[in-house]
Amino acid sequence: MRSIVRGAVLFLAMSSPAFADNLIYIDQTGSSATININQDGTGNRVGAQASDSVSDGATTTMDIDQVGTSNELDYDIYGDNANITSNITGNSSDVDVQVGTTGGSNGGSDDVNITINASGGNSNTVNTNVGTSATGVDDVDIDVDITGGSNSVTITENSTAASVTDKITDVDITGSTNTVTATKSGASQHDTTLNITGSSNTMSVTQSGAEASTVDVTTNGSSSSVTITVTD
């Protein structure tokens, strides 16, 4: 299914029997888009195998709910004032959200909020990549909340914002054998907060650029590993 939306409201709901494969591909251009997607089943996908779904325009509000096993979300966001929410329930799902990482007519993305919630599942993968090659990617707030074991979270940010409120990452995980890797570079003020409850979790935070940096890690559990690297 391919949808091209220009400044519209899009509601998609797909119910999948076991072992079914439903694909939603979105190529949206224009401002003030509201996108709601609900998928229930196994092996469902938002974004094609070789091509991410795209929203290119200001003021995008997106809510994607995926319930089941081995579901995937691949989405690229370009433009200011975006609010992105991904909710996954189940095992072995993959969420990949890119913000202003390549061209696009709105490659500079200011005031972007990303919320990813994974509940009641194991072996899920969450990846967010912010401003790797684009300039003018500012004010990005990333919140990840996970319950379950053997999940992997990777956050990479290279936005140019310099204000203390502009680059905020907050990861909360309850469960064991989870891995969190956060890397932030670019202009100053790199704020990362990790709250991890459970055993045998691995956390790595690397922050660099123009000195100012804050890392706050709280762990509750045994046999966890924490590595923090901060450079100018």
pLDDT of amino acid 103: 57
Is pLDDT of 197 > 80? Answer: yes
Residue 118 in tokens: 């994974």
Please report the pLDDT score of residue 104 as a whole number. 55
Domain residue extents for the chain:
2-231
More confident residue, 114 or 137: 114
Mean pLDDT of 89-98: 93
Please give the pLDDT value at position 175: 93
Is residue 229 pLDDT above 70, yes or no? yes
- Is 127:116 a contact under the CB 8 Å cutoff? no
**Sheet-wide strand order for 9-15:** 9-15, 33-40, 60-67, 82-89, 110-119, 138-147, 167-174, 190-197, 213-220
Structural contact between residues 104 and 80, judged by C-beta atoms closer than 8 angstroms: no
The answer on pLDDT for 47 being more than 80 is: yes
pLDDT above 70: residue 133: no
User: HEC states along 71-84?
Assistant: CEEEEEEECCCEEE
Mean pLDDT confidence for 135-151: 86
CA distance 79 to 103: 11
Task: Please write the tens of the pLDDT for every residue from 211-221.
Answer: 777 889 999 98
